[in-house]
Amino acid sequence: MNATIGIISVDANHPIYVAGLLGNFRALGHKIRMTDTNPLPPNDWPELQAGWVWLCGAGPGDPGLITLHALNALRQADAIVYDALVDSRILEWAHDDADLIYAGKRGGKPSAKQRDISLQLVELAKAGKRVLRLKGGDPFVFGRGGEEAQTLVQHGVPIRIIPGISAGIGGLAYAGIPVTHRDVNQSVTFITGHDQSGETPNTLNWRAISQGSQVLVIYMGMKHITPITDALLKAGRPKDEPVAVVTDATTPNQKVLESTLGSLVTDLEKSDMSPPAIICVGRSVEMRQVLDWQSMIAGAKPRNLDPLGRGKPADAS
């Protein structure tokens, strides 16, 4: 299998391009913001009260993938503490008087310490602010949301958790890769590419993971891709197993590299791809040949209508 990198060149009608414009009213030349023009649908929406902190997932990138609860929170918060992977267009939906406080953590770059971030949330809440902690993806999926929530509760600060779409699911979907598919897998394992020390996790049983899960989804794994692939191959995963790397998932800058486990390190070195990235290992990657919906919207035809070689229509059991 030869490595391929998919880069979508979109026109003005492409959904990601349109979503980008809808999330950035300055690009459209409008001064009226979404908060002023698009009321939430009727519902018993919760009120973000003074002294509370809502920990909220902002989704994998595309502003259209945030939840209505997240939008409701954005419209109320006095202070929004946001991560590096939160799309700036989402912050456009905060109200004019909200304080936007950057608290991003990116591997290999100067970042705030986790303890300082957690205690800042406590301080803002104790000052009577309505605080929104906005995190990329889902706050409880490799997002340190549990640590921050526990710190808040230990300091007597009331909280609400608002889940978000994780990149390991939504990001792969935007690449045309179903994280589960009946003909491929009945299990999927989510793995972080580094632990608290910043190194490859040494507590993982790679053999058990390799033997027990047909599809693996690896977050934050590009920095340590060599030891990760070595561990998987040593644990018995085949060299020709399909692998996809999706960078800047769900954004206009999304790129997808299709490779194999044995060739991945070399193929990544030849590419110009860089984090943030989601890595998917398993035969579900082959489904991209028929489900690369962004390329199809841009005019391309499916590469293979039967990538798994079933020999019968998808609707046939």
Query: Average pLDDT, stretch 237-241?
Result: 98
Structure tokens at 315: 């609707």
| pLDDT of res. 104 | 81
**In this structure, which topology does domain 50-165 adopt according to CATH?**
Cobalt-precorrin-4 Transmethylase; domain 1 (3.40.1010)
Q: Which of 83, 138, 248, 292 is catalytic?
A: 83
Q: What is the pLDDT of residues 204-223, one digit of tens each?
A: 999 999 999 999 999 999 99
* Environment class of 164 (CB within 10 Å of its CB; exposed 0-12, middle 13-18, buried 19+): buried
Query: pLDDT band at residue 202, thresholds of 50, 70 and 90?
Result: confident
For the question of residue 273 being annotated catalytic, the response is no
Q: Which of 1, 34, 105, 223 is catalytic?
A: 105
Question: Which residues are CB-neighbours of 244 under 8 A, at least 6 positions away?
Answer: 172, 175, 177, 256, 257, 258, 259, 279, 280, 285, 288
Query: Average pLDDT, stretch 88-117?
Result: 85
For the question of residue 83 being annotated catalytic, the response is yes
Q: What is the pLDDT of residues 4-42, one digit of tens each?
A: 666 554 444 444 333 333 333 333 333 345 555 678 999
Q: Which of 129, 220, 255, 287 is catalytic?
A: 220
For the question of residue 296 being annotated catalytic, the response is no
Question: Which residues are CB-neighbours of 309 under 8 A, at least 6 positions away?
Answer: none
In the predicted structure, residue 271 carries a pLDDT above the cut 50: yes
Instruction: Specify whether the CB–CB gap between 203 and 105 falls below 8 A.
Output: no
Matching fold, domains 50-165 and 168-297: no
**Domains in the chain: boundaries:** 50-165, 168-297
Q: What is the mean pLDDT of the chain?
A: 89
Structure tokens at 161: 């958790």
Q: Which CATH architecture has domain 168-297?
A: 2-Layer Sandwich (3.30)
> Alpha-carbon distance 129 to 219, whole Å?
33
Q: What is the pLDDT of residues 77-86, one digit of tens each?
A: 999 999 999 9
Question: SS3 sequence, the chain?
Answer: CCCEEEECCCCCCCHHHHHHHHCCCCCCCCCCCHHHHCCCCCCCCCCCCCCCEEEEECECCCHHHCCHHHHHHHHHCCEEEECCCCCHHHHCCCCCCCEEEECCCCCCCCCCCHHHHHHHHHHHHHCCCCEEEEECECCCCCCCHHHHHHHHHHCCCCEEEECCCCHHHHHHHHCCCCCCCCCCCCCEEEEECCCCCCCCCCCCCHHHHHHHCCEEEEECCCCCHHHHHHHHHHCCCCCCCEEEEEECCCCCCCEEEEEECCCHHHHHHHCCCCCCEEEEECHHHHHHHHHCHHHHHCCCCCCCCCCCCCCCCCCCC
> Alpha-carbon distance 226 to 241, whole Å?
16
